[in-house]
Structure 1
């Protein structure tokens, strides 16, 4: 990502995953619910997540800040909670990266192009501020990493940590794994 070093990105991901506090048995649906709560904690404001049918629009999610300081996160109503989680994490990534939320505006003309959308959503599209391509890419990369971290199993995390280790550390870890602490299989010196 352009704005964050790899180390800073991983630290941020560690902090966010810890903030989620999801047990290994959590479902993607529970993670979606928790995403709204985490956004609320970070923003220090009420955040409501709404799932809407978003057909024929150029995006699958948007975060809107209302004049009263509350937020609504619109997310495409997908059959897959995993897909919904990816969208919500993308919106969370914009917040984490201090990208401005979508500005809402009032336009009756947009209703002609989006008759299937609720009135508020149509107004959002009309006044949508377009994040710069670099911001979208940065948010997508952070969201992908968060999605990976939140949905991987603990044993996958351990394997990933070993892949990042130096060959010497890997040999030590493999040697320790073969010889449990306090066991009779300790190597002789």
Structure 2
């Protein structure tokens, strides 16, 4: 898929989202979950430095988005938006996982589900590009929301704020 088509597809997906204002990534995921009819659980965890920063895990009834807990809030929002991009596009991977690994790593869980999760850490470059573009578009839209109209300048600075706003609007 060329870049122009990729961007067009991603913009279309993001337009369908009801991005909250002010932006709240948890609220965004709740809205996406209501739209899809599948709950999305956000789970912070300490992930290995050499591994992914986030992970989307689809179970038969709900979706989990795991994200790195030891990073900034802004980075966490980006990780979650990226994983939400994988979810929205229903990305799948085909990389094989050794039959014994799921049982050894997580013996209490269904081995097939663990295999699917482990395969999902190996997306194609095109899928990673798509998820990254969706994350960027979500955060770009979230950061360009109009300021809260109820906000007012503190007494004594209102005139200064008004002059600055007027001056900035007149700048080329």
Report the TM range for the smaller structure's normalisation: 0.5 to 0.7
**Alignment partner, residue 102 of structure 2:** 106
1:99-124 deviation digits (Å, cap 9, x = unpaired): 1389997242x58xxxxxxx87xx57
Report which structure shows greater RCO (CA 8 Å, sep ≥6): 2
Distance 1:126 1:84 in 2: 20
One of 66, 72, 78 as aligned partner of 1:74:
66
Question: Which consecutive residues of structure 1, in runs of 5 or more, have no partner in the other structure?
Answer: 112-118, 156-176, 179-189
Distance 2:6 2:71 in 1: 35
TM-score of the pair, normalised by structure 2: 0.63
Distance 2:62 2:144 in 1: 32
Where 1:50 maps in the other structure, the secondary structure is strand
TM-score of the pair, normalised by structure 1: 0.58
Distance 2:146 2:77 in 1: 19
1:11 to partner: Cα distance: 3.6
Alpha-carbon spacing, 1:127–1:6, altered in 2? closer, same or farther (3 Å): closer
8 Å CA contact 1:64–1:101 kept in 2: the answer is: no
Q: Quick check: 1:36 aligned with 2:29?
A: yes
Distance 1:35 1:101 in 2: 25
One of 118, 122, 143 as aligned partner of 1:151:
143
The alignment of Structure 1 onto Structure 2 pairs a total of residues equal to 138
Distance 2:94 2:139 in 1: 22
1:109-154 deviation digits (Å, cap 9, x = unpaired): x58xxxxxxx87xx57973332111111121122111111112243
**Alignment partner, residue 23 of structure 1:** 21
Where 2:66 maps in the other structure, the secondary structure is strand
**Alignment partner, residue 161 of structure 1:** none
1:21-55 deviation digits (Å, cap 9, x = unpaired): x234x4xxxx1211321331243112211000112
**Alignment partner, residue 10 of structure 2:** 9
| Cα root mean square deviation, aligned | 3.4
Bigger mean CA deviation after superposition, 127-136 or 3-12: 3-12
1:123-138 to 2 correspondence within 5 Å? 123=114, 127-129=118-120, 130-138=122-130
